[in-house]
Amino acid sequence: MRNFDLTPLYRASVGFDRLADVMDRTLSADLAQTSYPPYNIEKTGENAYRISIAVAGFAADDLSVEVRDAAVIVAARKAEEDTSRTFLHRGIATRAFERKFTLADHVRVEGASHVDGMLHIDLVREIPEALKPRQIAIEKLDSRKVQKLDA
């Protein structure tokens, strides 16, 4: 495993400690997390994203999507199966899972849908008005008025 030294980041910036925490959690989670279920993360617009998770075999009632601690947590628990069925081959996994996606600041979940064995979670980034770029008007002063003010 690689160790990253974030000291230069801390020397030159303020408030990026959350970024370091996210990187640390992500790197440590990658070691323990499996690839089940498969998923896609796509950018659907300038400030819109979609997480699509393959949940074949799960009904909408078996799934839960929760937003907690700046993360989207998707979990699935399959109801008890009919034991009278006998499988010759079982390739569709319906084991329980929990998958966590960390959200950036100002990203919120807009909605979720379950269609054709896929769970789609739509996200949108809403930048607050105070953080959007704005033009500052430069006041033109007469140099004679400035001299009078300084006196």
List the chain pLDDT tens, one digit each, 151 residues.
566 666 676 666 666 666 667 776 666 655 555 788 999 999 999 999 999 999 988 999 999 999 998 899 999 998 777 678 888 998 887 889 999 998 988 899 999 999 999 999 999 999 888 877 889 899 888 776 666 655 5
Query: Do 57 and 109 have their domain in common?
Result: yes
Residue 10's domain spans which residues?
1-33
Query: Do 126 and 66 have their domain in common?
Result: yes
How many domains does one find in the chain? Answer: 2
Q: In angstroms, rounded to a whole number, what is the distance separating the alpha carbons of residues 139 and 66?
A: 50
Query: Do 26 and 90 have their domain in common?
Result: no
Q: In angstroms, rounded to a whole number, what is the distance separating the alpha carbons of residues 125 and 71?
A: 14
Query: Do 42 and 96 have their domain in common?
Result: yes
Query: Do 93 and 22 have their domain in common?
Result: no
Q: In angstroms, rounded to a whole number, what is the distance separating the alpha carbons of residues 143 and 135?
A: 24
Confirm if 27 and 1 have CB atoms less than 8 A apart: yes
Confirm if 123 and 111 have CB atoms less than 8 A apart: no
